[in-house]
Structure 1
Amino acid sequence: MPLNMRFRFSPAKDGLVKVLGPLETEIMQILWEDERSTVKKVHRRLAQERDIAYTTVMTTMSRLSEKGVLNRHREGLAYVYSPAITEEDFVQLVVRQVLDGLLDDYSDTAIEYMVDYLARNNPGELERLQQVIQSRTGGL
């Protein structure tokens, strides 16, 4: 997935807003749902919930296209946008990039924290992690 996307990771925020801005996230949710759309249609949907300028939506969608998250092509007088990556693939890409960064620089701390976190908050997932480790190491 060759996205030229660079993002800031904001762990205190919820969902995809951790890596995309709030408006970018809303736009991507609309396009992942609709599969293709114009700025006009996306603006119309967003404007039902809040006061937002057409040019703000247009600029944000253009930037998402420049980042490689949206595809853009002209149909008649309008640009039509579609996701360049599925939501699932995007989430996998983000998780990979975040974990690669943490494990590259702080592997001991990251691994210990992940195990402690799972033990405290989700013992079932900790058991699943043990099974994954055993399957990868041949039960060593």
Structure 2
Amino acid sequence: MPLNMRFRFSPAKDGLVKVLGPLETDIMQIVWQEDRSTVKHVHRSLSQNREIAYTTVMTTMSRLAEKGVLNRHREGLAYVYSPAITEDDFVQMVVHQVLDGLMDEYSDTAIDYMVDYLARNNPAELERLHQTIRARTNI
């Protein structure tokens, strides 16, 4: 998993748009699903739901490659893009970055909030957290 990727986290947005822009998210969903793709294919897929310039897709895919999320190599005249990281590994990396940042600076507040949040919204996950803590501390 590439460890040098850094993304801006926007908590008010939904899904992967929290860390990728809406277009980046749509592109990554297509490439993750296809496993390898060209700008032409991605543009064609995106054009079914919105009006978008080919060059916009090309530039965005290039930037995703620069960020380390996509790999690209030339096949003939076209670049072929493939995921540099699985969607699950990407989500895990983002969660680690966000929580590392919170724990480094605000661990007391982050932990208290997480426990309160789970108590209110997901008691089963709070119990799972409790079991995980017990297992790791041999209590």
The normalised TM-score by structure 1 is 0.98
In structure 2, what is the Cα distance between the partners aligned to 1:33 and 1:74?
A: 20
Correspondence for 1:137: 137
SS of equivalent to 2:88: helix
What is the identity, as a one-letter code, of the residue corresponding to 2:86? T
When the two chains are superposed, the root-mean-square deviation of aligned CA atoms in Å is: 0.7
In structure 1, what is the Cα distance between the partners aligned to 2:3 and 2:51?
A: 31
Q: Output aligned runs, 1:63-102, within 5 Å.
A: 63-102=63-102
Q: Is the CA contact 1:3–1:67 (under 8 Å) kept in the aligned structure 2?
A: no
Correspondence for 1:121: 121
Does the alignment pair 1:26 with 2:26?
A: yes
CA separation of 1:3 and 1:39: change in aligned 2, threshold 3 A: farther
Correspondence for 1:2: 2
Residue ranges of structure 2 left out of the alignment (5+ in a row): none
Q: Is the CA contact 2:2–2:85 (under 8 Å) kept in the aligned structure 1?
A: no
* 1:7 CA drift (Å): 1.4
Q: Output aligned runs, 1:48-67, within 5 Å.
A: 48-67=48-67
Number of aligned residue pairs:
139
What is the identity, as a one-letter code, of the residue corresponding to 1:125? E
What is the identity, as a one-letter code, of the residue corresponding to 1:52? I
- Percent of aligned pairs with the same residue? 83
In structure 1, what is the Cα distance between the partners aligned to 2:112 and 2:125?
A: 15
In structure 1, what is the Cα distance between the partners aligned to 2:4 and 2:60?
A: 16
What is the identity, as a one-letter code, of the residue corresponding to 1:81? Y
The normalised TM-score by structure 2 is 0.98
* 1:3 CA drift (Å): 4.5
* 1:77 CA drift (Å): 0.5
What is the identity, as a one-letter code, of the residue corresponding to 2:25? T
Residue ranges of structure 1 left out of the alignment (5+ in a row): none
What is the identity, as a one-letter code, of the residue corresponding to 1:117? Y
Does the alignment pair 1:12 with 2:37?
A: no
Superposed CA deviations along residues 69-111 of structure 1, whole A, max 9, x for unmatched, are 0000000000000000000000000000000000000000000
SS of equivalent to 1:74: strand
